[in-house]
Amino acid sequence: MSDTTIQIFDTTLRDGEQVPGCKLDTKQKLIIAEQLDILGVDVIEAGFPVSSPGDFKSVEAISKLVKNATVCGLTRAVKKDIEVAAEALRLAKKPRIHTGIGTSDSHIKYKFNSNKDDILHRAFEAVKYAKSFVEDVEFYAEDAGRTDNEFLARVCEQAIKAGATVLNIPDTTGYCLPSEYGAKIKYLKENVKGIEHAILSCHCHNDLGLATANSIEGIINGARQIECTINGIGERAGNTALEEVVMILKQHPYLNLDTNINTKHLYGISQLVSESMGVYTTNTSTAISQSRDKLFSLQLMLKNGINIPTSGFANSPIDTKDLINMVGGAPLIVKLLTGSQGRGVVLAETQKAAESVINAFKSLRANLLVQKFIKEANGKDLRCFVINGKVVASIERSAAPGEFRANLHQGGTASVVKITMEEKMLAIKAAKVLGLQVAGVDIIRSKSGPLLLEVNSSPGLEGIESATGQDIAGMIIASIEKKLNWQI
């Protein structure tokens, strides 16, 4: 692992499931685990196998399913726990046992009625026993946030001697300040003998709203794993939010730290977890996934009688020249399937330019669409905002001088527009086809009538609210309240 790569340890299916009133069955856990694997998390903590037959079954099933991530099972520093976890993980490609014990004075005295020497011994023996089953063993020092640093270092040394590969330093109560938590990680990095043989991990709770800040401070000071959950769910006030730490690192490149997370999947899995746990979402994860697959969504539109610009899939075996001719020749639009906000869209004005762009992208194995260029639109398109089957606002977007893309993120401008009934019905139908309750539908006016460009399942509000003066966010909230029959 690169020293600049932060491992993401997802505990949505274990710690996250402790949200009051939210319980996942094995089928739901398998669906979420598969999506976590696609998302790119490094470790999936699948459950606490000894806690119940259901948890054992889930960990066992997830172990069979997951292809890329390490699958982890939680235990206490108890032999039976470790044996049961090892059995549940036996089919995992990359199994990890997560074992540990409380280390703070409070835990030692009131939880274990013990002493520090006994805790050191039990920590060593737990890791040693877990190591007899799997190579990858993570040790947690429960309540490390309130543990004296010198004693915590001694516990970590014992865990490393016994074979621990990861040291989890939890702020169990969520009471640490970022400066305190960062200093604790720095102390361990500088004072634990053998620390070069293990990874320090941050596991922070959000009781005082500092889980994400503490985790970031931890990795700045030498930790290389963050334990987190989708949407920051978890017991009490929750855990560090996976999406927050990932985007913080992405938006602050000067930290020179990154993750293996594919961020384009974050929104979809956020919705999936919310739905699975019975939390209301405006758009379902299925609808979001369909809308974000541009090729599939356009195929759905055509199947349902919605007109789109003549299009061809550029990664098909069709010869480049035939593909160009299929959409009517140059000028034409070349559009990356993964692009957004006008990025990854190219206007090829000549046959030669079109061939060069398409072949260049093909050589990179990029998936893209080739579409007919609607010249008569004069660099303009429509954005219709749909909420629960009704167009609540519409704007016309105009490209900046010398630009063909009307996207506001590419310098386009927006103005209020009166759309036709045909355009209104097209927008409503497109959102319905994808199953979206809230959608931004992009339409272009052509000689043959309105054509659908694409449907956005997470449309921005700033541009359309500024242009129309309407409170779109308030409309979305009102629609949610209506569906849930809330009385204000």
439-453 mean pLDDT: 95
Domain boundary among 373, 390, 425: 373
Same domain? For 42 and 11 the reply is yes
Least confident of 174-183, 286-295, 400-409: 400-409
Cα separations (Å) of 277 from 233, 282, 483? 10, 14, 18
| Shared domain check, 336 and 466 | no
* pTM, two decimal places: 0.75
Tens of pLDDT along 254-275?
999 999 999 999 989 999 999 8
pLDDT given at position 405: 80
* In the predicted structure, residue 387 carries a pLDDT above the cut 60: yes
- Do both 331 and 220 map to the same domain? no
Quick one: 227 and 170 in the same domain?
Answer: yes
What is the phi/psi pair of residue 317, to 5°?
Answer: -70, -5
- Compare 241 and 363 and report the one with higher pLDDT: 241
Backbone angles phi, psi at 309, to 5 degrees: -60, 145
**Which CATH number do you get for residue 247?**
3.20.20.70
Q: Which has the minimum average pLDDT: 91-105, 106-120, 277-291, 389-403?
A: 277-291
- Within a domain: residue 290? no
Query: What's the structural domain count of the chain?
Result: 3
Looking at 227, 259, 279, the residue that finishes a domain is 279
The answer on 394 and 350 residing in a single domain is: no
289 part of a folded domain? no
CB 308 within 8 A of CB 298: yes
Residue pLDDT, tens place only, 108-138: 999 999 999 999 999 999 999 999 999 999 9
Average pLDDT over residues 379-385: 94
161 within domain boundaries: yes
Nearest CA to 25 out of 52, 63, 43 is that of 52
Residues 91 and 183 in one domain: yes
Q: Tokens 């703070």 appear where?
A: 104
CATH number at residue 420: 3.30.470.20
| 432 in the same domain as 361 | no
Last residue within a domain, chosen from 279, 302, 335: 279
Looking at the structure, tell me whether residues 221 and 108 fall in a common domain.
Answer: yes
Identify whether the C-beta of residue 360 lies closer than 8 Å to the C-beta of residue 314.
no
pLDDT of residue 410: 76
Confidence of residue 484 (pLDDT cuts 50, 70, 90): confident
One domain, residues 366 and 462: no
Residue 358 has pLDDT above 60, yes or no: yes
For 186, the token pair is 């720095």
Residue 294 maps to a domain: no
Closest CA to 434 of 313, 268, 316, 273: 268
Evaluate whether residue 84 is within a structural domain.
yes
The pair of three-digit structure tokens given for residue 284, joined into one six-digit string: 């379902």
Q: Which amino acid is at 357?
A: V
Q: State the residue range of the domain holding 322.
A: 310-373
Across residues 212-218, what is the average pLDDT? 98
Q: Is residue 324 part of a domain?
A: yes
The CA-atom distances, in angstroms, between 254 and each of 185, 202, 258, 407, 450 are 21, 21, 10, 29, 45
Q: Identify whether residues 326 and 207 lie together within a single domain.
A: no
Give a yes or no: residue 299 inside a domain. no
Look at residue 286 and tell me if it is in a domain: no
> Measured at the alpha carbon of residue 486, what is the angle toward residues 480 and 488, in degrees to the nearest 5?
110
DSSP H or E segment with residue 187: helix 178-191
Q: What is the mean pLDDT of the segment spanning 366-374?
A: 85
Same domain, 359 and 385: no
129 in the same domain as 77? yes
Main-chain phi, psi angles of 91, to 5 degrees: -100, 0
